[in-house]
Amino acid sequence: MPPPPGAKKRVLLIGGQFTGNFCARELKKQFYVTVVDCKEYFEYTPGVLRAFVRPAHLDSLTFTLQPVYERKMGVKFIWGEVKELNGARKTASVKTMFSNNIDEIGFDYCIICSGCNFGPFKPMGESLWFPTVHEEARGHSDWKHIDERYLEGRRRHVLEEYHKLTDLNKKQATVLIVGAGFIGVEWATELEHFFPQLKITIIDFLPRCLGPLPDGAADYCSDYMAACGIKEFYNCKYDPKNPEFWKQIELPNGADEIYVCIGVKASNYFMPAETLSDKGPGGGGWIHFNKHLQVTQKPSLGGGVWADGTIFAVGDCNYGCIGEPGKWEMPPVPKISYPGEEQAYHACLNVMKLEKGQKSKLVTTWWPWGAGMFATSLGPHDACFVAAANENKNSGYMVNWWIPAALQKEIIETTKIDECRDRWIGILIWHFVHHTPVHLFGRGPWFV
């Protein structure tokens, strides 16, 4: 049922992690906000690798969502999975936890903050660094015996992996890490620090680690790994069924354990096909959007605004770019938390403008300067921090490294989680990061 005349309008947020959390805090005073998430907890994904090698760290990365959303923020939280989003009727079909029935939730505006999965070699995507929570993905999971929709299930998975690594360490086992981006490098160095008996090899299809980031950062990380005894092989395609591949990386008998740290996978199962890309990372399935972050139909269907422009897609769930190579309206944006929150801010502004009848004054999103910041851990006592990177290869500068960079990453992690828990210290520290009144850097307008 629609709200009565004069009542506040309803906003549905699909996903309660970084971007959903930001939108809820931004919109709670002007709208009735409902947040739906597949799992009962928030998890700070950028720091979760540390939890698998030091399980006690998981407690500092997670918190239960319902008390924060309902008791502190004053918005509604539903623990469940959106199975279908109907743009014409402005409803979402939700399968709530502990029920096999489907509930239908109406809304006036919707912001999709559902993120993505990782692991291109799994049908639905699956990896250690993101819990398996979608019903469709859980049916194909390698750990069906664990239900990571529960915080306790996530903790069980972390402990299970930790004990496996402990046994591998005792055996001085060989470990192959596929992918030398920042996830692969962080995982290799975390393993080396906490399980020093492991014999670790890292490979990548590119000519060096850290992909398109500047040479200074790549050289710093490579020197660290070499000093720790981590073997590196580049310009190397992962081909596990080929004996020559294993000889090339000096593991003729294969590896005792393999971790694939490459690629993202879309998890927009609830969206109609007309809004999803046919191509893109992980085989496509990303939500098409326009410069105002409104969901659109795919270009082959005309690319028109979907659902009257009242539904927005922000962060990792969307296609990530607008236009074509060489003719970009917005180049590809990295699938990391900062640009997702920046887009969430723009979408919230546009929801408020639509509600005021200012359709002609919608904010145009841009490639945010913070999308070029990457903090890569090298174990608990070393790291490197890159700023000012963009879509161009080798762009950016390594501006911080060693212990100061490791401390910087710890401060970011601690204060960001504090903000997401709706605590005042974190909010004070991070509020103006996205509510910047004057933009001195990046491609956005001077004033917003």
Give the CA dihedral 323, 392, 363, 305, nearest 10 degrees.
Answer: 20
Residue pLDDT, tens place only, 237-250: 999 999 999 999 99
Domain residue ranges in the chain:
1-170+261-365
For 96, phi then psi, to 5°, come to -80, 160
Whether domain 1-170+261-365 has CATH 3.50.50.100: the reply is yes
Measured CA to CA in angstroms, residue 256 lies from 134, 176, 179, 245, 262 at distances of: 29, 8, 17, 15, 19
Residue pLDDT, tens place only, 224-273: 999 999 999 999 999 999 999 999 999 999 999 999 998 899 999 999 99
Cα(439)–Cα(315) distance, integer angstroms = 21
For tokens 């190579």, the residue is 325
The average confidence (pLDDT) of the chain is 93
**Longest alpha-carbon distance in the chain:** 72
Residue pLDDT, tens place only, 397-440: 999 999 999 999 999 999 999 999 999 999 999 998 888 776 65
Measured CA to CA in angstroms, residue 306 lies from 294, 296, 301, 310 at distances of: 8, 5, 11, 8
Cα(335)–Cα(123) distance, integer angstroms = 20
Q: How many CB atoms lie within 10 A of CB 49?
A: 20
Residue 211 clears pLDDT 90, i.e. is over it: no
Nearest by Cα to 128 from 76, 75, 94, 165: 165
Q: What is the pLDDT of residue 445?
A: 73
R_g over Cα of the chain? 22
In three-state secondary structure terms, 33 is: strand
Cα(171)–Cα(146) distance, integer angstroms = 26
Task: Enumerate the β-bridge partners of residue 260.
Answer: 178
Task: Enumerate the β-bridge partners of residue 254.
Answer: none
